[in-house]
Structure 1
Amino acid sequence: MATITLEQEINPWEAQAARFEFAARKLNLDEGLWKVLRYPSREVIVHFPVSMDNGKIEMFTGFRVQHSMARGPGKGGIRYAPDVTLDEVRALASWMTWKCAVVNIPFGGAKGGVICDPKKMSMGELERMTRRYTSEIIEFIGPEKDVPAPDMNTNEQVMAWIMDTYSMHMRQTVTAVVTGKPLNIGGSRGRREATGRGISVVCDEALKYLGLQRDGCRVIVQGFGNVGSNAAILLRDKGYKIIGIAEYDGGLFNPAGIDVCALQEYRQRNGSVLGFRGAEPVDSAELLTWECEILIPAATENVITSRNADRIKAKIVCEGANGPTTAVADEILADKKIFVIPDILANAGGVTASYFEWVQDRQGYFWKEAVVNEQLESILAESFDDVLRYSEAHGVNNRIAAYMLAIDRVAFTIRQRGIYA
């Protein structure tokens, strides 16, 4: 891969751009299509007022970036965080384009965010901010345009507010405008566990490919939110041994295995994993470099970087989060012969189940959870095989293979549709 600058390692948009360009060169992508896919098709920035509980008015900034709609409506989450940036949202939108194409579902890529600190806001403030943000971007979203979903610091309740706000403006209930909703207003069974379930499926496939045994396979999970906790529980149920949990406020280690169900209950009661008696407290950052078969970074971007990649001892890195490994770290992991399951494949269970929810909403017919899980596992296993075939055929690592597969599929669709001018 071409030399990556420090700015590219830190900046998620520059990092994904470097990977895109490398994959596009390997594909000999037409220069015109390169230009079409290199940049988002639309970037929306909104500044809007919200009445706070103390009677004051605060201004908030929100984003919605639509990278590509060639294969269908935009699809991507909305995150609430104080450090949301346009470059971050751009990168996440492009990753969604490639993620949807890797698992071959008919969506394009989009992403949204609001700069705020949800931990310091009341439910009333969050609702008013969500509704106003929705009204500001309302002309750009919809079941056939762009379908948001939960992401960092957003959840089923936030999706319900977005759906209701959109429906009030449309003068009719429109459940398919978002996914990740509560079950009683058009949500899908199995959606909450879907990203974790997808991770468990690709871990199974990786073990089979590498000839490793599932029973007793040691796993360290970074991030114990919805994705990390569900992945840990599902893997534990299959016979994997969860020996480490790394959270933002501290880590836990037990070489005999952590009771992750008990840990989940403890965290729900106490708001933290700290103090859990079923494991010893350890440093979270150091835990990522400890010996294990599988490391699952399932929290935020830029967790595995040039500063720690050379100390990673896992045989497999399965990316539950978006962009947890920088482009520079990719090269280091490749030199160490670590098998990386890239984010646009590993965590695609969430968007796959979101696709199922969107389909069910539009049909007005809802599936049993067993059907959702069966379809999800089939798509993820098939997509894993597709990426491996690309990797072997082109002599590239799994991440570049996943990008090549995705870019090829999107570019093929654009060629079929033609350029409207």
Structure 2
Amino acid sequence: MVITTPEHSLYAIAVEQFNQAADLIGLEDELRQILSTCKRELTVNFPVEMDDGSIKVFTGYRVHHNLAAGPAKGGIRYHPNVTLDEVKALAMWMTWKCAIMGLPFGGGKGGVRVDPKLLSPGELQNLTRRYTTEISILLGPHQDIPAPDVNTNPQIMAWIMDTYSMHRHGGVSVPAVVTGKPPILGGSAGRLEATGRGVVFAIEEAAKTYGIDLTQARVVIQGFGNAGSTAARLLDELGSRIVAVSDSRGGIYNPNGLDIPAVFAFKQQTGSVIGYPEAERVTNEELLELPCDILIPAALEEQITERNAARIRARLIAEAANGPTTPEADRILFDRGIIVLPDIYANAGGVTVSYFEWVQGLQHFYWTEEEVNSRLRAIMTRAFQAIHATAERYHVQLRTAALALAVQRVAEITRLRGIYP
């Protein structure tokens, strides 16, 4: 992850993207002020008792960008480089993501500045419960519903739900306060694979529109975590050739195609794709520039920049990560005719199935995985068609078109609700 400076902050990038969309639709100045500003920014500094009895103080954040459409929805990440600037940008992108998909949520995001790999399971639980307590003034099934993000998972969501339930409801389970939980606690079938599956649904729609044969396509995936590995498996099943994948330690490349089930098993055994015998090693930077038809950045922000955009050799980029492409790179890619499925659409499968999970939790009525996947495909298809039609109408890239649709929707909701005195 890149620690950005105030002159080149992630939030500044998010605002720049917003302004491009606002220009396109002629958004009035008053709404620009409202929608380019985060509604709430909570910073918490909290002590955690470690296994050896020592005390460490950690810093965490929870940000609400906009709540016009509904309660805040957004993940919580644990990473040593988490900053308030980053969390604000991610919260804004969540607002647009939910709007594009037609979900009744506003954008939120959270994070703790910590390397969870250095914590024991007990320390991780202590940190999660204390952080949840600190931000609990914002949480609730109708106020703010967290979900997993970088370095968080269903177990961490279970601890968040339990902590909230103990504080607010005397221990009675409140499943709708968080999504991405284990199924036995009210998690939705298909939630774990939802982000990667949504990326593949998005790619399938784009392939139909732009004439890409997925049975012949070469695919490169940066990031072999939950989203990246799911996308790899599903595209492999569709007949695509996955030629390179990577994790935080680096990547592996085989132009003839990787055996994805074998790579997955190797990573499960060793903790990394590095060392997989039937491939050559490449860096994460080199991986982005490999020859391919489809590139899936599924790692962290600002991976495709003005420094490497001219060397990208993919025909289609599907952003499984949040913010992997800078505005300067976007312009270079657009000029080169490279199609970019933007993060606020391509990786929206996670929040869409989180919405399904929230609805199921409120009703205590649960759906089958087939129902979940069918509804997800329908929403991804509808959203792509709307984005593509907008891009054609305005002759702009898909990101600007997606943002224009999202900003227009949130602006209209804000106009209709009015400004509370």
- Whether the 8 Å CA contact 1:9–1:326 is kept in 2: the answer is no
Corresponding residue of 2:108: 110
In the TM superposition, residue 282 of structure 1 has moved relative to its aligned partner by 2.3
What are the within-5 Å matches in structure 2 for residues 1-400 of structure 1? 10-170=8-168, 171=170, 172-400=172-400
In the TM superposition, residue 274 of structure 1 has moved relative to its aligned partner by 1.3
What number of residue pairs does the alignment pair up?
Answer: 416
- Whether the 8 Å CA contact 1:8–1:15 is kept in 2: the answer is no
Structure 1, unaligned runs of 5 or more: 1-5
User: How far does the alpha carbon of each residue in 1:347-373 deviate from its partner, in whole angstroms, 9 at most, with x for none?
Assistant: 000000000000001111110000000
* TM-score, normalised by the number of residues in structure 2: 0.97
3-state secondary structure, aligned to 2:81: coil
Distance in structure 2 (CA, Å) of the matches to 1:178 and 1:283: 36
- Whether the 8 Å CA contact 1:246–1:288 is kept in 2: the answer is no
In the TM superposition, residue 287 of structure 1 has moved relative to its aligned partner by 1.8
In the TM superposition, residue 255 of structure 1 has moved relative to its aligned partner by 1.8
In the TM superposition, residue 206 of structure 1 has moved relative to its aligned partner by 1.0
In the TM superposition, residue 283 of structure 1 has moved relative to its aligned partner by 2.8
More moved, 243-252 vs 125-134 = 243-252
- Whether the 8 Å CA contact 2:246–2:273 is kept in 1: the answer is no
Partner letter of residue 383 of structure 1?
A
In the TM superposition, residue 7 of structure 1 has moved relative to its aligned partner by 5.8
3-state secondary structure, aligned to 1:33: helix
3-state secondary structure, aligned to 2:137: helix
- Whether the 8 Å CA contact 2:11–2:88 is kept in 1: the answer is yes
* TM-score, normalised by the number of residues in structure 1: 0.97
RMSD between aligned residues? 1.1
Structure 2, unaligned runs of 5 or more: none
Distance in structure 2 (CA, Å) of the matches to 1:284 and 1:97: 30
User: How far does the alpha carbon of each residue in 1:313-353 deviate from its partner, in whole angstroms, 9 at most, with x for none?
Assistant: 10001000000001111111111110000000000000000
In the TM superposition, residue 306 of structure 1 has moved relative to its aligned partner by 1.1
- Whether the 8 Å CA contact 1:246–1:285 is kept in 2: the answer is no
What are the within-5 Å matches in structure 2 for residues 406-421 of structure 1? 406-421=406-421
3-state secondary structure, aligned to 2:392: helix
- Whether the 8 Å CA contact 1:64–1:111 is kept in 2: the answer is yes
Distance 1:8 1:328, change over 3 A: farther
3-state secondary structure, aligned to 2:239: coil
Q: Percent of pairs identical after alignment?
A: 53
Distance in structure 2 (CA, Å) of the matches to 1:140 and 1:404: 29
Partner letter of residue 245 of structure 1?
V
Distance in structure 2 (CA, Å) of the matches to 1:59 and 1:335: 47
3-state secondary structure, aligned to 1:140: coil
In the TM superposition, residue 10 of structure 1 has moved relative to its aligned partner by 4.1
Distance in structure 1 (CA, Å) of the matches to 2:196 and 2:56: 36
Distance in structure 2 (CA, Å) of the matches to 1:346 and 1:53: 41
Partner letter of residue 305 of structure 2?
T
Partner letter of residue 92 of structure 1?
L
